[in-house]
């Protein structure tokens, strides 16, 4: 035995599931025509022709079956007893000749270079793009490939295992990987997921585009700070023209994630560009350390530049020091100014700060009131954080069911 025909590969593929004819009610996607084509990396048309021949010679049975994870029946294929005998014969012959048949039947077992060499240049780019995208996406949203190199599940979502992704990326060069990340960033362009797009822009080396995205999506990103976002932000070497827009986001993310060294490093960078702005974030760092008096002293040295940002921080420091009355008076004055200006931009942050001051004073009922107001004026990107804060406040006022409801919404 020097090579296997497509028909023989189909028989061996079906034999891996150890099912004969009507053994099962819910069967794997890999036993459908699309699943067979995807697993063996042949066209759907080719699999259809070979399956028809195998049915006609009595080696394969075709049945309408429920597919695991799917809601409808589909044509599926299983070995007959004759087909199972033939598959056993092929396995024995392969073993005798010292041939490992698994790489021919399973993408995960295939040698990375063999897999790579079997895929055309255009198909490689589609497969590579899917490999750098970090979650399943609808197969239909990726470009067409001449061969079925993209495994999918019953719902039409990409189904690339971590092993396959690792294999593909291991044989690609840096330029190819950057190109795939660039394509992936464009995929997320209209998906309302700034964090995923940012991740791919950074890995594509499109730093200016990444900085523009941060500047435009600052509020959305800062409402949803997480370790993954912090890791992405830490990779950016910020061009001078974007320092004032981008570095504050990096500092805030670093402070919230507890990366004090990174925060200090970026505050120094910011001070070189804008001393006042650097002082503002120095105050944030002192607040995170619990040095509220030091933070307040820094804030009081500042002029009228970034006045609304100064007021928010001053109110936070005063509230933490127990001076609730003065803190709320500042925030009420700021609210009146915003309302007179005819804009709601910034009102959500103002109400969140009011809620924080109230909570620090033990007035959790007022905290719920202000957070509810914040929810009413917040954009979609900021609501998850407010849901989380509302969950905490409702727990504090003894309403666990409400707390649980908002905690689930924050997920």
Q: What is the pLDDT of residues 270-299, one digit of tens each?
A: 999 999 999 999 999 999 999 999 999 999
Residue-wise pLDDT tens digits, 209-266: 999 999 999 888 887 888 899 999 999 999 999 999 999 999 999 999 899 999 999 9
Find out whether 116 and 124 touch, Cβ atoms under 8 Å: yes
Find out whether 276 and 302 touch, Cβ atoms under 8 Å: yes
pLDDT at 74 > cutoff 60: yes
Quickly tell me which residue has 């004055």 as its tokens. Answer: 333
Reported confidence tier of residue 367, pLDDT bands at 50, 70, 90: very high
DSSP 377: H
Task: Provide long-range contacts, Cβ within 8 A and 24+ apart, for 30-38.
Answer: 31/65, 31/76, 31/77, 31/78, 32/67, 32/74, 32/75, 32/76, 32/77, 33/75, 33/77, 34/148, 34/152, 36/10, 36/77, 37/148, 38/148, 38/150, 38/151, 38/152
Reported confidence tier of residue 144, pLDDT bands at 50, 70, 90: confident
Rounded-to-integer distance, Cα 183 and Cα 125, Å: 9
pLDDT at 62 > cutoff 80: yes
Q: Residue 113: its pLDDT value, please?
A: 66
Half-sphere exposure of 365 (CA within 13 A, CB side): 0
Rounded-to-integer distance, Cα 218 and Cα 212, Å: 10
Q: Residue 370: its pLDDT value, please?
A: 94
Find out whether 41 and 118 touch, Cβ atoms under 8 Å: yes
Q: Of the candidates 290, 298, 308, 300, which has an alpha carbon nearest to the alpha carbon of residue 271? A: 298
- Mean of pLDDT values over 302-309: 78
Rounded-to-integer distance, Cα 87 and Cα 64, Å: 23
Q: What is the pTM of this model?
A: 0.72
- Looking at the DSSP assignment, which residues form a beta bridge with residue 62? 77
For β-strands 60-67 and 26-27, DSSP reports them as: parallel
pLDDT at 304 > cutoff 70: no
Residue-wise pLDDT tens digits, 373-401: 999 888 777 788 899 999 999 999 999 99
Q: Residue 25: its pLDDT value, please?
A: 60
pLDDT at 100 > cutoff 90: no
Q: Residue 92: its pLDDT value, please?
A: 84
pLDDT at 17 > cutoff 80: no
> Of 11-25, 130-144, 145-159, 381-395, where does mean pLDDT reach its minimum?
11-25
Reported confidence tier of residue 24, pLDDT bands at 50, 70, 90: low
Rounded-to-integer distance, Cα 261 and Cα 259, Å: 6
Q: Mean pLDDT score of the chain, rounded to an integer?
A: 86
Question: Which value, in Å, is the radius of gyration of the alpha carbons in the chain?
Answer: 29
Rounded-to-integer distance, Cα 102 and Cα 107, Å: 9
Helix segments in 321-396, DSSP class H: 324-340, 347-360, 364-377, 383-396
Q: Residue 405: its pLDDT value, please?
A: 93
Residue-wise pLDDT tens digits, 113-126: 666 776 778 888 99
Reported confidence tier of residue 153, pLDDT bands at 50, 70, 90: confident
Rounded-to-integer distance, Cα 341 and Cα 111, Å: 64
Distances from the Cα of 155 to the Cα of 29, 49, 135, 159, 246, angstroms:
10, 24, 14, 10, 39
Rounded-to-integer distance, Cα 44 and Cα 33, Å: 7
Angle between helices 275-288 and 243-257 (to 10 degrees): 10
Q: Residue 385: its pLDDT value, please?
A: 86
Residue-wise pLDDT tens digits, 307-364: 888 999 999 999 999 999 999 999 999 998 888 887 777 788 899 999 999 999 999 9
Q: Residue 350: its pLDDT value, please?
A: 92
Residue-wise pLDDT tens digits, 172-221: 999 999 999 999 999 998 888 899 999 999 999 999 999 999 999 988 88
């Amino acid at each position: 035995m020097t090579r296997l025909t497509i028909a023989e590969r189909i028989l061996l593929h079906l034999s891996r599931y150890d099912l004969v004819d009507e053994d099962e009610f819910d069967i794997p996607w890999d036993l459908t025509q699309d699943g067979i084509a995807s697993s063996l990396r042949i066209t759907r048309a080719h699999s259809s022709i070979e399956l028809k021949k195998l049915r006609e010679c009595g080696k394969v049975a075709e049945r309408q079956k429920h597919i695991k994870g799917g809601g409808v029946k589909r044509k599926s294929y299983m070995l007959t007893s004759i087909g199972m005998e033939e598959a056993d014969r092929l396995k024995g012959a392969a073993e005798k000749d010292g041939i490992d048949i698994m790489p021919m039947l399973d993408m995960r077992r295939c040698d990375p270079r063999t897999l790579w060499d079997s895929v055309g240049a255009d198909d490689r780019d589609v497969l590579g793009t899917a490999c750098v995208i970090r979650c399943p996406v609808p197969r239909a949203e990726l470009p067409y490939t001449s061969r079925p190199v993209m495994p999918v599940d019953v719902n039409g979502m990409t189904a690339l295992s971590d092993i396959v992704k690792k294999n593909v990326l291991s044989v690609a060069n840096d330029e190819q990987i950057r190109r795939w990340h660039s394509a992936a960033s464009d995929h997320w362009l209209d998906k309302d997921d700034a964090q995923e797009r940012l991740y791919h822009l950074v890995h594509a080396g499109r730093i200016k585009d990444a900085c523009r995205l941060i500047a435009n999506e600052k509020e959305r990103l800062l409402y949803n700070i997480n370790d993954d976002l912090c890791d992405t932000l830490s990779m950016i070497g910020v061009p001078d023209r974007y320092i004032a827009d981008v570095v504050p986001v990096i500092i805030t993310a670093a402070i919230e994630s507890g990366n004090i060294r990174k925060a200090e490093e970026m505050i120094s960078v910011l001070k070189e560009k804008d001393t006042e702005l650097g002082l503002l974030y120095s105050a944030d760092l002192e607040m995170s350390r619990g040095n509220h008096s030091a933070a307040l002293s820094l804030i009081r040295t500042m002029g009228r530049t970034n006045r609304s940002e100064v007021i928010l921080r001053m109110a936070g420091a005063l509230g933490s020091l127990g001076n609730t009355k003065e803190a709320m008076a500042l925030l009420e004055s700021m609210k009146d100014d915003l309302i007179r200006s005819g804009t709601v931009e910034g009102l959500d942050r103002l109400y969140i700060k009011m809620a924080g001051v109230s909570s620090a004073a033990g007035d959790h009922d007022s905290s719920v009131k202000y957070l509810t107001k914040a929810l009413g004026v917040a954009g979609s990107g900021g609501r998850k954080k407010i849901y989380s804060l509302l969950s905490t406040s409702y727990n504090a006022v003894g309403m666990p069911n409400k707390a649980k409801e908002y905690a689930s919404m924050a997920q």
